[in-house]
Structure 1
Amino acid sequence: MHSGPLADLDPATLHGILRLRVDVFVVEQNCSYPEIDGRDAEPSTIHFWCADPDGSPVATARLLVDGLADGRSELRIGRVCTRHELRGTGLTSAILDAVVAEIGDRPSVLDAQAHLRDMYARWGYVVVGPQFVEDGVPHVPMRRPAAPAE
């Protein structure tokens, strides 16, 4: 498992992460949208990835800091994906374990593809709004509340 901001990624790793995301979200899911959205380069964004023995990313996610209208911010998980032939091998769980460990006790949100809501529930995420369609794919907004203060 690897993680870091864009500035710490070597060009081959960045290329591999972006290619994996395009392969999954644009090609496999047949969704034409701007995958490279500018959020990867934000200094607060943390990239997570697992690599094969050659160093090529095979699973990835990113953790963003979203600014809210009231001046506060919240953490947002996004772009979680695993190479098709490696799904079901535990890589997505490893990625999410690392992301949630980074989040710690803080609250966080994500927009899950609707069929994956139960998977995200394993990390404490609950649906907090109605289903919506983004790029032709049904999604649900989910939130993981802050851990109670001890």
Structure 2
Amino acid sequence: MNIKIKTFQELELEELYKILQLRSEVFVVEQDCVYQDIDGKDSKAIHVMGFEGDELVAYTRCFKPGYYFEEASIGRVIVKSNFRKYGFGHDILKASIDLIKNQYQTKNIKLSAQKYLIKFYETHGFIQLGEGYLEDGIPHIAMIKGS
């Protein structure tokens, strides 16, 4: 998988289209969740994209500390369904963690995890915070990674 990292302003129109298409494919259609994906926050994010050839197969968006949470944050963690068996989720998350460490000089990262992915995030050093909650009708839990 080839990873590209870009600010919103650096994204090519076709890359933005592929990002929105993948997010809709998984979060809206596959997970049967009607929610406002285009939330006005993409312009403040750094976008981490994983490509196989010209196909976008994995993605996250990262935020500096204080924008989304007090800590830096990673969101919209996604891998296209037919590519999940290759470990691309681990690759894209590691690239996102490294980006935050290097770009913002912090190891403190918070995210809102879908509960079924707790063990996945724990393998990357995240720990659960507080009680679970529903976000757009899907069980989530806050998780944090520190130094």
- Name 1:113's counterpart in structure 2: 114
Residues 21-100 of structure 1 mapped to structure 2, 5 A cutoff = 21-42=23-44, 45-53=45-53, 55-65=54-64, 67=66, 73-100=70-97
Give the unaligned 5+ runs of structure 2.
Answer: none
Amino acid of the residue matched to residue 19 of structure 2?
I
Across the aligned residues of Structure 1 and Structure 2, the Cα RMSD in angstroms comes to 1.5
- Name 1:2's counterpart in structure 2: 4
Q: CA deviation at 1:58?
A: 1.1
Q: Does the 8 A contact of 2:50 with 2:59 survive in 1?
A: yes
- Name 1:123's counterpart in structure 2: 124
1:135 matched to 2:136 = yes
Amino acid of the residue matched to residue 145 of structure 2?
R
Q: Does the 8 A contact of 2:129 with 2:142 survive in 1?
A: yes
Amino acid of the residue matched to residue 49 of structure 2?
W
Q: Secondary structure at the match of 2:130?
A: coil
TM-score w.r.t. structure 2 length?
0.90
- Name 1:101's counterpart in structure 2: 98
Q: Does the 8 A contact of 1:110 with 1:141 survive in 2?
A: yes
| CA deviations over 1:69-120 (Å, ceiling 9, x no partner) | xxx9421110001111111211111101101111224201001000100100
Structure 1 outlier segments of 4+, above 6 Å:
none
Q: Does the 8 A contact of 1:49 with 1:95 survive in 2?
A: yes
Give the unaligned 5+ runs of structure 1.
Answer: none
Give the length in aligned residue pairs.
140
Structure-1 separation of matches of 2:25 and 2:130: 29
| CA deviations over 1:3-44 (Å, ceiling 9, x no partner) | 1101111110110011100110011101101001111012xx
Structure-2 separation of matches of 1:41 and 1:33: 19
Q: CA deviation at 1:66?
A: 5.3
Structure-2 separation of matches of 1:80 and 1:109: 13
- Name 2:18's counterpart in structure 1: 16
